[in-house]
Chains A and B, each alone.
Chain A
Amino acid sequence: MDKIRNLADLRELKDKLQSKTKLRDKSETPEQMVQIKVAMATCCIASGSRETMNYIVDELDKRNIDAVVTQTGCMGYCYAEPTVEVILPGKEPMVFGYVDSRKADEIIEKYIKGGMLVEGIIPVNYKKID
């Protein structure tokens, strides 16, 4: 008894999504997209980064914001976990601390959609090292 639920019904989903992707493709290139990185090292996970990441992915989709959400290692601000980095197109990276779903909601609405600053920014001259 290997597969209890098989993948046959993926076909329907594929057809639906292929037409949706086509519509989308024209609109934006990756450089124009919002980039979001969620720190996901051991202590980050223990402090809730898995839940934060899923909240962000789902809410961006619900609010029709095209963004690339990825995971990253420890950003070095362990005291403020969960930490999230947001890069708006053409802007400097911004790191936010203590991002639970309430904070994530605020970041999406005010910073990503509205371009306004919100509390909780970690004041750093953050340089990428990887």
Chain B
Amino acid sequence: MKDISYHILDIVRNSLNAGARMVEIHILEYSQTGQLVLKIKDNGSGMKEEMINKVTDPFFTTSVKKKVGLGLPLLKQNAELTGGRFSIESAVQKGTLVEAVFNLHHIDMIPIGDLALTFRTLIASSPDTDFLYRYRVDDCGFDLDTAEIRMRLEGVSLNTREVLDYVTDAIHANLKALKGWK
């Protein structure tokens, strides 16, 4: 994967495949340690313990159409290449938390990429799922919660172009403000 935004789309797709109705995506940057922590948490079907150990093996997948599962191993590899860490916590019928830690200043650090486009893609194809998108740089940041947006829209579907444009603009504006302050 070329950048973090593609990884997010890919890992959240696992959550959706596991029947999640709610997915939280946290990107937390810490300037002191130079680390970026990516957390993706869902309330999907979860995994048994023996499965958690297998999923970072690229030859393991429960997909019926292909023989390798690459999503989690690739994220693990990209995090570890920067001297970072990767972990999964999961409980059957409860959900899953995937966490990857990157060292931002490492030479092998991948770019963040187009987060707004990833988010737009997720909302466009899963307008009824609740996505919470949280971005923090130290103690500054913003949340974007599609449950809240849906409530305010009172019945208008989220996958209309005007709403998608609104969300995209909001993310761009917030990211710009956030980076501008720093």
Q: Which residues of A contact B (CB under 8 A)?
A: 1-5, 7, 10-11, 13-14, 16-18, 20-21, 38, 40-43, 45-46, 50-51, 53-54, 57-58, 61, 69-71, 73-76, 78, 129
Contacts and interface: CB of A to CB of B under 8 A. Distances in A.
Interface stretch (B21-29, B98-106, B137-145): B137-145
Number of chain B interface residues as a range:
35 or more
Given A3-B142, A54-B117, A17 B162 contact: yes
Nearest to B64: A129
Interface in B104-126: 117-118, 120-121, 124-126
Contact of A61 (B9, B141, B142, B161): B161
For the complex, would chain A's binding face be called helix, strand, loop or mixed by DSSP majority? Answer: helix
Nearest to A24: B160
Interface stretch (B48-56, B81-89, B148-156): B148-156
A4 B174 contact: yes
B59 interface: no
Given A4-B178, A40-B13, A13 B163 contact: yes
Contacts of B141: 1-2
A80 to B, nearest CB: 13
A5 B142 contact: yes
Contact of A14 (B1, B154, B159, B164): B154
